[in-house]
Amino acid sequence: MGGVGKTTLAQLAYHDDRVKNHFDLRAWVCVSDDFDVLRITKTLLQSIASYAREINDLNLLQVKLKEKLSGKKFLLVLDDVWNENYDKWDRLCTPLRAGGPGSKVIITTRNMGVASLTRTVSPYPLQELSNDDCRAVFAQHALGARNFEAHPHVKIIGEEMVNRCRGLPLVAKALGGILRNELNHEAWDDILKSKIWDLPEEKSGVLPALKLSYHHLPSHLKQCFAYCAIFPKGYEFKKDELILLWMGEGFLQTKGKKRMEDLGSKYFSELLSRSFFQQSSDVMPRFMMHDLIHDLAQSIAGNVSFNLEDKLENNENIFQKARHLSFIRQANEIFKKFEVVDKGKDKSIRRDAPTNGLPDKFANIV
């Protein structure tokens, strides 16, 4: 997922002296969402030949790049690749095949589909940081130290902040940077209680980084993902359970004889391969969303999806737009939970709406 440290790890390897001495040539290209073969080829050639900026013909660029790479052992890093078009990938690789034995291409991506398209060896999926390492990253950026020992008055809230990062170094760095040299307990508490989308984008960059994954989803997957905002944080769900919910919402439109369950399984696998879901159990496969991915779903769903466990303010105004509600069932508390729903119901809806006593807009309750 975004922010787990793929680019940082690739940079560490790329700039290591042992790596520098091992290869004849090295080049780094930040690809991002525009997989323009001409631009990438030109950037590669520019890194080893200054005259490349004067050439704008792809064929000529590839001829020149092939000449430069011929027989040379090179290292190429393609950072942040989203392209799943094999023809574009094959076209880019044409001059690279002239490289000498031992040449390497490293690709960073959030999409396992990209890894399947480009790989010649097994992918190396990064895991989240351990709690100790995450604490060290956060404390380094917030306090210039590796822990909270020298600042006991913020230690407890600092540990809560580290737990909130859930092992993502991007978040640990961003939250630490916002609190850099800020030792006021109230300031730390404000950041801890802030939603991820309330953090200043110019300082954190967390939500934009996560949103990039969402923007690359096709429209049919966007609505399926946003719907998952109804789940509580940390909720473990079954694949078949979620697919049935999608079916009930009409998200799975099939043609011909294709079963909705099969289409839902395909959608689920695509979201899983893009790290929107994570497997939480090997025995009886269950899945969940990382807390930050859950925040992303909530920010996208806006006022449409709600979990009634959340502590919401101005409920009457918020629930005017609600379409999807969920709650954790507990004995003797159901009526109390739905008091907030009654406050927000639209007075213009007909009182005889056939939805078990609830207005149409709240009929879709999980």
Compute the average pLDDT of residues 311-338: 58
User: Where residue 239 sits, what CATH number does that domain have?
Assistant: 1.10.10.10
The verdict on pTM exceeding 0.75 is no
Do 61 and 171 fall within a single domain?
no
Tell me what percent of the residues of the chain surpass a pLDDT of 90. 35
Q: Are residues 183 and 234 in the same domain?
A: no
Q: Is the pLDDT of residue 194 over 90?
A: no
User: Is residue 189 scored above 50 in pLDDT?
Assistant: yes
Residue 202 included in any domain: no
Q: Are residues 219 and 358 in the same domain?
A: yes
Mean per-residue pLDDT, 269-281:
85
What's the rounded mean pLDDT across residues 131-160? 90
Max mean pLDDT range (206-210, 306-310, 341-345): 206-210
Do residue 106 and residue 136 come from a single domain?
no
Task: Output the pLDDT for position 103.
Answer: 96
Q: Are residues 222 and 352 in the same domain?
A: yes
Q: What is the pLDDT of residue 363?
A: 34
Give percent of the chain with pLDDT exceeding 70: 80
Q: What integer pLDDT is reported at residue 350 of this predicted model?
A: 33
Confidence (pLDDT) at 320 = 63
Reported confidence tier of residue 200, pLDDT bands at 50, 70, 90: low
Return the pLDDT at 166.
84
Question: What is the per-residue pLDDT for 306?
Answer: 67
pLDDT of residue 111 exceeding 50, the answer is: yes
- What is the mean pLDDT of the segment spanning 233-249? 89
Q: Tell me which residue range forms the domain holding 98.
A: 6-118
Q: Which of 118, 146, 166 is the last residue of a domain?
A: 118
What does pLDDT average to over the chain? 81
| Amino acid residing at 346 | D
What total number of domains does the chain contain?
Answer: 3
Domain co-membership, 188 together with 224: no
| 90 or 328, which is more confident | 90
